Structure 1
Amino acid sequence: MTTEYSGAGDPVRSLELLWGAQPRPRRGPRPRLTVEEIVRAAIEIADAEGLDALSMRRIAESLGVAPMSIYTYVPGKSELIDLMLDRAIGELAPPADAAAGGAEWAGEWRDRLERMAREHWDLYHRHPWMLQVSLGRPPMGPNLLDKYERELRAVDGLGLTDLEMDSVVALVTGFAESSARVSVNAAQAEQRTGMSDEEWWEASAPVLDKLVDYSRYPLGSRVGTVAGEEYGGAIGPGHAFEFGLERVLDGIDALIRTRRAP
């Protein structure tokens, strides 16, 4: 799969599109499409087929228009990816009335961060193509900024410094992203190879038994057998997420305790 990069297009045009800045009106017939319709169609294609299948021509076909007409709304695929990311990120935003009162983060801080991680885990499974985009230059749209503000509210008032607040949010969301990547890759392996994990093991195990002296690997054999039986395969993405999330939260708890210590 090809890795795409957010912020790879014209930064001025991307920001204008993200924030809804309208170009000077042109004379002529009324536009047939909106930027939102194009972004929605692009996300539907990427959800179903991945970013590698996404092109202006493919979007035009799905909308029933000429390919070149798409460029009158969005200058290129790079700017479009920025719009797609911000729109998908908007799924994490709470209703306006809940956000205004802070009700979206009711409960203890640990519950809030657990919810944050699960929201990201679910988002990446709904939109696996997001994992193909490097966010070194994040799309600075309204949904991303709303998301960041909301996430900081989840750790505000815990005695952390501003830098620690940013780092805690990055740790939790980054853990969810990396865990989701393993889970999505595992799910896609069967689709792309046409072979399930069980079928792969059934084909591999007899050969391994002939080639490998397992007495050389007593710990690996013992632990690997237990883990494999539990996961039903070489890895267990769901278990790894649950186990890792608890350990991440334990570490954050230790940090908060040091800040609250007399």
Structure 2
Amino acid sequence: MRIAVAGATGNIGGLTVAALERAGHEVVRMSRGLGVDLITGDGLDDALSGVEAVVDVTNSAAVDRGEAVAFFGTATANLLAAEARAGVRHHVLLSIVGIHRVEGNAHYLGKREQERLVSEGPVPWTIVPATQFHDFAEMVAGWTEQDGAATVAPLLLQPIAPADVADVLAEVAAGAPGGRHVDIAGPETQDLVDMARRTHLARGRTVRLVPTWSGVFDSAMAGEVLLPGPDARICPTTFDRWLAEL
């Protein structure tokens, strides 16, 4: 199949491209750096010529609610419209477990708008909700790290390896549209603070971690809010195995 990946130069995008190519598919890479701009629409029609399925793993760093909704809304609307013009038969969206249970998070609000547009849009679709990735804790700590210390929310997660996410997306893209896919998650629950500590240790770094609910993640995300549903698809790579491969 000829399959396009939106956000192909990012971490998950690159892994998804590799997974699709291993499975024998022809992959079209789409990103702003490669001349395809989802916000302006530049390059979309040419990129989607002959494409049968699209995997959207685009992301935004916007922390303002309006900016997040505007980015995901504009990019998704432009992408879906171009897919409809090109006759694309399957739109696969990577989403996040728990976004419908959290109200105050700007990124989650943007992702909810993205899901709405896809589910109400003109192209048959599959939405794949994933738990947070194994590298999430290090990234979160990096947002606030200063003078050897960082604040981290004590979130309860069931993190998933990025490569496992890519494998699922590649499998789903090659199949028929299925609506909302079951949650995908890793095999074990973890505490975000401990994940950050262990990741820093694996990289030979010492960072003093301060657990706190102040910041991007508040207490509305405490408890089991971010855990997958009971029918989740459990992927194989443990956090320990991922750490060992750093």
TM-score range, shorter chain: under 0.3
Which protein, 1 or 2, shows the higher relative CO under an 8 Å CA cutoff with sep ≥ 6?
A: 1
Where is the strand percentage greater, Structure 1 or Structure 2?
A: 2
Where is the helix percentage greater, Structure 1 or Structure 2?
A: 1
Q: What's the TM-score once normalised by structure 2's chain length?
A: 0.26
Q: Which is higher, the Rg of structure 1 or of structure 2?
A: 1
Q: What's the TM-score once normalised by structure 1's chain length?
A: 0.25
